[in-house]
Structure 1
Amino acid sequence: MLSAPSETSARSPQALPVLDWTHRLTQLGTRFFTPLQPTPVAAPRWAARNDPLRTELGWPAELFDDDHLQAFAGNALMVGSQPLATVYSGHQFGQWAGQLGDGRAIWLGEAASAQGTQEIQLKGAGRTPYSRGGDGRAVLRSSIREYLCSEAMHGLGIATTRALCLVASPEPVRRETMESAAIVTRVAPSFLRFGHFEHFSAQGDTDSLRILADHAISHHLPECNERAVLWQGNVYAALLDVVQERTARLLAQWQAVGFCHGVMNTDNMSLLGLTIDYGPFQFMDGFDPGHICNHSDHQGRYAYGRQPNVAYWNLYCLAQALAPLIDDHDMTLQVLEGYKSQFPRFLGDAMRAKLGLSGALAPESERENDWTLVEDVMQLMAAEKVDFTLFWRQLSLAVVHQSQAPSLTNTGWSAVTDLVLDRPRLLEWLARYTTRAGQAHFSSMGEVMLRTNPKFVLRNHLAEIAIRKAQTGDFSEIDTLHNLLKSPFDEHPGFEAYAALPPDWADQLEISCSS
């Protein structure tokens, strides 16, 4: 059932399917949030509906009918939802920013699903008490990027928030220029951030900090109770340990696919180790460890190569926030040391898999030598800014189809060597790589590589084409990209252009924090 959130809504209450709602977060009390209703938008229309996700969650098809369009636009409420905005604080670009909070994301509640309880948010649904002078809106441009990239990350097997649907409105929103509004509905088991804990710690409110930590452990990270055995029964040290491990795994996955987040502020870090808050992100084209995807990041704090260290810095901030609960400085530092050992291991495993070296083909005794192989080829790629995604995919195909040593006369390997100018250097590396792999294993290795190295990623220019079409009212490219990106390892015959090198104009695209 829907009910109108305000007198400005044009919709009347109607009998419609109801999700099975629960609201565990609201039980914590209003210190943690402010109840409020979304602000309606004019003339909403569907821009995208993620039927695969809806089906995966076991939610009814009626959820995507035109009556529910009003709910996902913020013009009406599904009965049983309890909209609110949560409060948090955080460090932005390395500086303490104080109180932040959901400035344009409105939490509707938690709904039961076939994948477990899912929190549902409307992003861009209007002002909240935490908007800090902003309009609480999101623009179509950035909403398309978030919708597509969250689903692209899921297709890659990387932990992320998900995008259920996207609603567009002609309502004007001013950023650098006048743009149109959009609301993306996103779902996740929890939207808790590092910043939620920083907020109460900074206020000296240890009681609220403990309530929030206990809530997280009880409902979202119950493994902390078992992990506490490693930390003298200290469940809050175990909480930090679980979070640092999840974060280490996430960062390894980002680095392995060439993903740049762009704004790794502590308030953009998920407690569950999910990729969250898609702003000026980018999947790198030419490989450059110093690449800065955020036009607003003038100091390069969040450059690709710095992401793992920034994640550790953010974890240190979380550790400081949890310090009153852990109440053991040495133990806290010891927990953080786990990231320094686990991240390199996770990254090493991810990069070995990109080379087809996994399972029985990746004994521990070869780990150091394999990392040398990885470093050597990455240095070559960086020297010439070789296209990151294309190189790994072509290498995968070469391994699948070839059984002899690499040669410039061998068409399979030449697809790889044609990507670089310094062919002798690459051939020397390929000789070492194929010797390490053993040609007898090429077939099985290649299949692993094709399921590890994607053919399709959401390159900036692909998103830009979808955005430009959508701004004319044509949303078809969003669906085309979504269909490719939800299965990025498949060949998708007929769509080779979406996996090709970017056009020259792609270099001129600038993505900033504006959204």
Structure 2
Amino acid sequence: MKNLKINNRFTAELPADPNETNEVRQVANALFSYVNPTKPSNPQLIHASKSVAELVGISEDEIQSESFLNAFSGKEILPETRPYAMAYAGHQFGNWAGQLGDGRAINLTEVEHDNSFFTLQLKGAGKTPYSRTADGLAVLRSSIREYLCAEAMYYLGVPTTRSLSLMLSGDEVLRDILYNGNPAFEKGAIVCRVAPSFIRFGSFELLTSRNELKNLKQFVEYTIKYYFPEIKGDPKEQYVQFFQKVADTTREMILHWQRVGFVHGVMNTDNMSIHGITIDYGPYGWLENYDPNWTPNTTDSQYRRYRFGNQPQIAQWNLYQLANALYPLINEAKPLEDILESFINEFDSDYKTMFLSKLGLFTSTETDSELIANLEATLQLSETDMTIFFRNLSLIKKEDSIENTIAKIKDAFYIPEEITNTILENWTIWFSLYLKRLATEVLSDEDRATKMNRINPKYVLRNYMAQLSIDAADKGDFSLVDELYTLLQKPYDEQPEMEKWFAKRPDWARSKVGCSMLSCSS
């Protein structure tokens, strides 16, 4: 890969673990450990993103080369590089977990291309010093879900890591998919994911928890220098500005999650990027029926900490933990508290504007909050598909009757026969308010529909869709992976040839493993 420009700033400037044995252990006074990927026995390329390859300086021809296959399966090390795993800690489901680190991810290298920097990371490439009791490997089902979802999110306009490649390792991996004592062998796989960096909230938490304040200061200043060069002022001012930037980009990311109905499922602080991008696609999901209490994670089924409607509050809680980690450098609570206190207020204001845009309302009135609250309540009276509802809302004209409006969104109802009596009355009341509100908008029906259809996707990666591609891939058929990848590159376009994917979750998917809730098993 002749145009791949290596520039390993992270390992060149930050403290390394002096112990280079690949043994699970506590790693002190270091931000990473050198470790090589486990060599796969018979790697096979399933899919690669041409646009991501171009982003980092890899040509389309090189994707099909043996060197690409070997490098991004972990079989061979890229010249002039030393792979490494990062050390970090985190709060998991609200509880302090101590050292975590890259237990199944290995950073191959950093590259520079077109004045931008990227970290190339293999997920599922084998054991590291941070693997705890696990093997550091990944299976095909979770790898397909990660590969497709990161790219789907990118094309939806949601800040995210990217996916470069998806490969089979040729090896079998033992997993207990439901954590019920029935492990089975599955096909091993490796994803190469790409981001500006994989620095997390937990990266700073680890250093503060161990009172490694010299390393903390060095790491924060390193992060500002390379990723937030616009930040100026004395050191304390810079640290506060850094926290403000992270809060702002995190708020924007969560706003996009709520806009498209995405539920991350594992919003632990070790899964939160300082870049405000979505990372670590595990038991995620998109809302099928509009249910703010839904979480896709079986581990979270009792308390539903990471449910859809709680994501903004969890983001604020996680930022609070980052503030605690940065506090020793600032020694002043108020500027951090001010940012945290304003987070939800600013989110609520942005959420209202975003929600109105989903409704095709691009001005603001005093009754808008009531209109939104009324709709959110009505959507929950009977199972109503979020994606289909908002997409079909653009079909409504200002002069429509209430009967016509309900008819135009009826495909979103999972149980149409329930839309009678009280439920129908609630919809009638809401649509009467909505039509009055539409009449105040100056945009024509056509122009309004065009804007709405750039905000409300027609296609998202529903869990049952991903599972269908996984089932086919398990049999050696990767055509559905390619079809979904193509579909999800244009989620706002009509794509009439793909209309079969603009559909509610089928009944068979309600309880099928991988189609409703998922475990963290990979």
Residue 298 of structure 2 aligns to a residue whose secondary structure is coil
Q: What is the aligned length?
A: 485
Deviation at 1:66, TM superposition (A): 3.3
Match of 2:237 among 212, 234, 238: 234
Query: Is the 2:295–2:307 Cα contact (8 Å) retained in structure 1?
Result: yes
SS of match in other structure, 2:327: helix
Does 2:322 match 1:329? no
Equivalents in 1 of 2:361, 2:80: separation in Å?
A: 50
Q: State the SS of the aligned residue for 1:384.
A: coil
Does the 8 Å CA contact 2:461/2:488 hold for their aligned counterparts? yes
Deviation, structure 1 residue 369? 2.4
Task: Confirm or deny: 8 A CA contact 2:44 2:170 kept in the other structure.
Answer: no
1:464-511 deviation line (CA, Å, top 9, x unaligned): 000001111111111111111111000111211111111112111331
Corresponding residue to 2:250 among 242, 247, 252: 247
- Choose the corresponding residue for 1:28, options 9, 14, 21: 14
Query: Hey, what does 2:52 align to over in structure 1?
Result: 53
Pairwise CA distance, 1:61: 2.1
Superposition pairs of residues 194-233 of structure 1, within 5 angstroms? 194-225=201-232
Write out per-residue CA displacement over residues 429-478 of structure 1, whole angstroms, 9 at most, x where no aligned residue.
22222222227522221111011100000000000000001111111111
List aligned pairs for 1:105-124, cutoff 5 A. Answer: 105-114=105-114, 116-124=116-124
Q: How does 1:306-325 map to 2 (within 5 A)?
A: 306-325=310-329
Q: For the Cα contact (< 8 Å) 2:102–2:128, is it kept in 1?
A: yes
Does the 8 Å contact 1:17/1:62 carry over to 2?
no
Distance 2:222 2:375 in 1: 45
| C-alpha distance in structure 1 between counterparts of 2:402 and 2:339, whole Å | 49
- Matching of residues 313-392 of structure 1 within 5 Å: 313-358=317-362, 362-363=363-364, 366=365, 368-392=366-390
Query: What CA deviation, in whole Å up to 9, does each residue of 1:60-113 have, x standing for no partner?
Result: 224312311011110012213321001000111111100010011111121112
User: How far off its partner does 1:343 sit?
Assistant: 1.2
Q: Is the 8 A contact 2:101 2:130 kept in 1?
A: yes
Amino-acid identity (%)? 40
> 1:360-388: per-residue Cα shift (whole Å, max 9, x none)?
xx24xx2x522322221111111212111
Could you tell me which of 181, 185, 191 is aligned with 2:192?
185
Deviation at 1:327, TM superposition (A): 1.2
Question: What is the deviation of 1:56?
Answer: 4.2
- 2-structure distance, mates of 1:79, 1:470: 32
CA contact 1:104–1:123 (8 Å) conserved in 2: yes
Measured at CA, do residues 414 and 204 of structure 1 come closer, stay the same or move farther in structure 2, by a change above 3 Å? same
Indicate the residue corresponding to 1:264 in structure 2: 267
Establish whether residue 504 from structure 1 lines up as the match of residue 489 from structure 2: no
Query: Can you list the C-alpha shifts for 1:275-326, whole angstroms capped at 9, x where unaligned?
Result: 0000000001011111121011132111111111111111110000000012
Q: Quick one: which amino acid aligns to residue 112 of structure 2?
A: A
Superposed displacement of residue 115, structure 1:
7.0
Q: State how far apart, in whole Å, the 2-side matches of 1:80 and 1:189 are.
A: 20
- The residue that corresponds to 2:21 in the other structure is none
- The farther-off stretch of 450-459 and 60-69 is 60-69
Residue identity matched to 2:339: V
Contact 2:4 2:57 in 1 (8 A): no
Q: Who is 1:11 aligned against?
A: none
Aligned equivalents of 1:418, 1:102: Cα separation in 2: 44
Q: 1:436 is matched by which residue type in structure 2? A: R
Q: Tell me, yes or no, if the aligned pair for 1:281 and 1:294 is still in contact at 8 Å.
A: yes
Matches within 5 A, 1:85-96: 85-96=85-96
Aligned equivalents of 2:230, 2:387: Cα separation in 1: 35
- Tell me, what secondary structure is at the counterpart of 1:169? strand
SS state at 1:138 partner: coil
Contact kept in structure 1, 2:286 and 2:461, CA below 8 Å? yes
Distance 1:348 1:22 in 2: 42
The reply on whether 1:302 has 2:306 as its aligned counterpart is yes
Report if the CA contact (8 A) 2:388-2:411 is conserved.
no
Would you identify which runs of 4 or more consecutive aligned residues in structure 1 move more than 6 Å?
none
Residue 233 of structure 1, CA deviation: 6.1
**Does the Cα contact within 8 Å between 1:244 and 1:338 map onto a contact in 2?**
no
The aligned residue for residue 63 of structure 1 is 62
Shift in Å at residue 170 of structure 1?
Answer: 3.1
Which secondary structure state, in structure 1, belongs to the residue aligned with residue 367 of structure 2? helix
Equivalent residues of 1:18, 1:79 under 8 A apart: no
Q: Which runs of 5+ in 2 are unaligned?
A: 17-29, 177-183, 414-418
- Tell me the C-alpha RMSD between the 2 structures: 1.7
CA offsets per residue over residues 252-296 of structure 1, 9 Å max, x none? 111121111000000000111100000000001011111121011
Matched residue type, 1:320: N
Matching residue of 2:19: none
Quick one: distance in 1 between partners of 2:236 and 2:208? 22
1:160 and 1:134 mapped to 2: Cα distance?
26
Change (3 A) 1:440 1:205: closer
**1:457-496 to 2 correspondences below 5 Å:** 457-496=460-499
* Cα distance in 2 for residues equivalent to 1:172 and 1:130: 22
| In structure 1, C-alpha distance between the alignment counterparts of 2:61 and 2:82, rounded to whole Å | 20
Q: Secondary structure at the match of 2:106?
A: strand
Please point out which of 392, 395, 414 is paired with 1:394.
392
SS at match of 1:184: strand
Amino acid at match of 1:236: Y
Q: Is the 8 A contact 2:398 2:435 kept in 1?
A: no
Deviation of 1:190 (Å): 1.3
Q: Match for 2:374: what amino acid?
A: D
Say whether the 8 Å CA contact 2:464–2:505 is kept in structure 1: yes
Number of the residue aligned with 2:409: 416
Point out where structure 1 has 5 or more consecutive residues left out of the alignment. Answer: 1-15
Among 441, 446, 449, the alignment partner of 1:446 is 449
Supply the distance in 1 between the matched residues of 2:129 and 2:287 (Cα, whole angstroms).
36
Measured in 2, the distance between the counterparts of 1:288 and 1:158 equals: 21
**Residues 262 and 292 in structure 1, CA contact (< 8 A), matched pair in contact too:** yes
Please give the alpha-carbon distance, in whole angstroms, between the structure 2 residues aligned to 1:233 and 1:444: 48
Q: CA deviation at 1:138?
A: 0.8
TM-score (norm 1): 0.91
Q: Output the CA distance in 1 between the equivalents of 2:44 and 2:346.
A: 45
Structure 1 window deviating more from structure 2 (310-319 vs 426-435): it is 426-435
Partners in 1 of 2:57 and 2:346 — Cα distance?
35
User: Alignment partner of 1:122: what SS?
Assistant: strand
User: Structure 1 counterpart of 2:399, which letter?
Assistant: Q
